[in-house]
Structure 1
């Protein structure tokens, strides 16, 4: 039964990705066939960040007490645990699903809706799972690297994963029961909170990167590969991952890349 389930998940994932993954692939393990377009979108995102996101995040940090900022980050992290649990189950990681469910219940019930992280003190640590990782877990290739407007670094596989994760997020379903302005406000608050957590990374990123685009791309691909393999990526690279072999030695400083909609603790 498990073998049949695994085959169905893998097959359906490949069908959903369709020709996009293979169509964007090039010879020689090249994973950035859309580099010219990606760089243009990257420049747009940089200007948007400089003129909008960063000033808003800076103002948020300046006027928000640390305890409130931490509570907001915990709240969004707790909502994200629902997505983590769903993908635990899809990957048949039932022990982890139980632990993450306990974490969610403890923080939701005892932590005032997740604003206080009691679960970590009880040994239920924050974990990171998403549908992009689930697809990778079953062998679906990451496909072409891409930069999305506002969202930033991504891949064909992770873009699909992000859509599925959004559909399993409590914010999505909460929109059916909340006043019309609340769900978008939560989404915007999540972006501002995530950007505020990256303020300390800016200087390091600027100093470390001769080519900021390449640095972000390499960091993103390395991090995603590590997450798919639960922090233990295989030493021997497949053809699909060969691109990373050339990127790893380029930078001596490694900054964990977090996309603009990541939540605290991921």
Structure 2
């Protein structure tokens, strides 16, 4: 049974790759023929009828101080994951900053609702296991568009499982993890509303989003100092890219 499923998946991949004209094939995106329908479903169905309406209502009726408090709270709750990944990446400075932020904001900041640490110059160092794998030398792997989740790569998908499933399970229950994910997704989508025109006006929104995604990943992997010169492009909300 397993062999049959594996053979079927391989056949789908081969057919998908063959259906993309050679001039449009992207070595980063060998699954493009399957990724594009998933992208259309995400944007034309899930985002149009679910995520965007919820995000619009959230942005319209939730006071900004409440939104800021929720962002601070969710960021603080995931800071231990940043600590682990900073340490695994060999970044003692970022590790120390994140530890200090968690201790300060969890106490003086009332469980992270108030970002007191930033007033002391302790800026949040966002690190994830996908970046950790990249620092260890793992390649991106194929670009993947997931239903309800949006763009990722094989490497970052592995990292997301570690960051959002394995590590949170050490401290959070499953319902708490789901609530945390939902809050972050809605806030990220609400932040994107003013930037929607960039995507809608592009000649090929799928390719536009993919290029933005890879540039953002490179930027994050090298902490804002990638080794190659990148073309300047309009900024896209990085959190939304993880939750499309």
Distance 1:71 1:201 in 2: 23
The verdict on how the C-alpha distance between 1:79 and 1:90 changes in structure 2, with shifts beyond 3 A counting, is: same
The verdict on how the C-alpha distance between 1:172 and 1:147 changes in structure 2, with shifts beyond 3 A counting, is: farther
Aligned partner (choices 211, 216, 220) of residue 218 of structure 1: 211
2:192 is aligned with 1:198: yes
Q: Is the 8 A contact 2:164 2:177 kept in 1?
A: no
Question: So what's the TM-score if we normalise by structure 1?
Answer: 0.75
2:227 is aligned with 1:229: no
Map of 1:1-266 to 2, 5 A cutoff? 30-46=27-43, 47-167=45-165, 169-170=167-168, 173-175=171-173, 181-207=175-201, 209-235=202-228, 253-260=233-240
Q: Is the 8 A contact 2:97 2:125 kept in 1?
A: no
Q: Is the 8 A contact 1:144 1:155 kept in 2?
A: yes
The verdict on how the C-alpha distance between 1:165 and 1:186 changes in structure 2, with shifts beyond 3 A counting, is: closer
| Counterpart secondary structure, 1:230 | coil
Q: Is the 8 A contact 2:212 2:236 kept in 1?
A: yes
Number of aligned residue pairs: 223
1:78-137: CA deviation from partner (whole Å, max 9, x where unpaired): 122221111001112122101111011111111111111111111000222100000100
Question: So what's the TM-score if we normalise by structure 2?
Answer: 0.82
Identify which of structures 1 and 2 has the higher relative contact order when contacts are C-alpha pairs closer than 8 Å and 6+ apart.
Answer: 1
Q: Is the 8 A contact 1:88 1:97 kept in 2?
A: yes
Q: Is the 8 A contact 1:57 1:192 kept in 2?
A: yes
Distance 1:261 1:170 in 2: 21
Distance 1:234 1:261 in 2: 23
Distance 1:137 1:147 in 2: 23
Q: Is the 8 A contact 1:145 1:154 kept in 2?
A: yes
RMSD, matched Cα: 2.7
Q: Is the 8 A contact 2:151 2:241 kept in 1?
A: no
The aligned counterpart of 1:15 is none
TM-superposed deviation, 1:231: 1.6
The aligned counterpart of 2:21 is none
Distance 2:241 2:100 in 1: 24
Distance 1:43 1:171 in 2: 32
